[in-house]
Amino acid sequence: MSKEKWALITGASSGIGKSYVLEFSKRGYNVVLVSRNLSSLNKVKESLGTETKSLVLAIDLSKLDSAKTVFEAVQKSGIEIHTLVNNAGFGSYGPFHLSSYNENQDQMILNIVSLANLTHLFLPGMVERKTGTVINIASTASYQPVPYMAIYSASKAFVRFFTKALWAEYSETGVQFLNVSPGPVETNFFEVVNAKEASVGKRDTPENTVKQSLDALSKRKASIITGPIGNFILSNLSRIVPTQIGLKITKKVMSPKN
């Protein structure tokens, strides 16, 4: 594969994002690494093979118009993005009325606004070239409202619906879309959330999440739930369990244990 293909990965400094960076590098792509943590990004960059070109952008995507800053930096570098991986995201846990106004706003900008804006900015070039890929990372939390993580589950539902709509809209243009809904994964997500209640079921590895998603992409699927089969079963229970019963069960599972 030509080294002229570039993949841009957000949240590239650790976890699933870092695994995408390493996998695309193995597959012969150059990579643009985006995260707010410059030192961690540079460590990831140092782990790449010498044949992989890279561009590091330490930009906080939880700030409004940050997607435009990323796009302009890439344009200035003369790079054409073939694959966009919108992986960056975070969640918070606890009663909504006690949550932080600023943190809630940052979460919605990062999980929804920046993801949609990056897609909007890089998509025209893909359509013009008649080739490209957009991978958006949602969550199994997108399949049902999650008490105590209301904004997170709602924002990931946006990602899932948004991506599947674009998969259909651009199905004949040469541009592929894939929604990825992981369950719990061994990343620092749960340390940031600071709630063991948010991790339901066996945790998957970032590497397996990436592998399963790229396998799904090769089959031109619109969406995939990654991880063990239990993730698929739990995500689809909402289809057969009455809404109010499902919400009561989810609330009991997610309620603070302290």
Tokens 């990579």: give the residue. Answer: 31
Q: Helices 115-129 and 150-169, interaxial angle, to 10°?
A: 10
C-alpha to C-alpha distance for 123 and 170, rounded to whole angstroms? 10
Tokens 């890089």: give the residue. Answer: 122
The token pair that represents 232 in the structure block: 């698929």
Reported as type and span, the H/E element at residue 193 is helix 189-193
**Nearest by Cα to 70 from 11, 132, 120, 118:** 118
C-alpha to C-alpha distance for 20 and 23, rounded to whole angstroms? 5
Which of 20, 101, 152, 170 is flagged as catalytic? 152
Give just the sign of the alpha carbon dihedral 62, 65, 70, 71. positive
C-alpha distances in angstroms, 241 versus 142, 159, 200? 16, 23, 18
Reported as type and span, the H/E element at residue 178 is strand 175-181
Catalytic residue check, 152 = yes
- By annotation, the residues acting in catalysis are 152
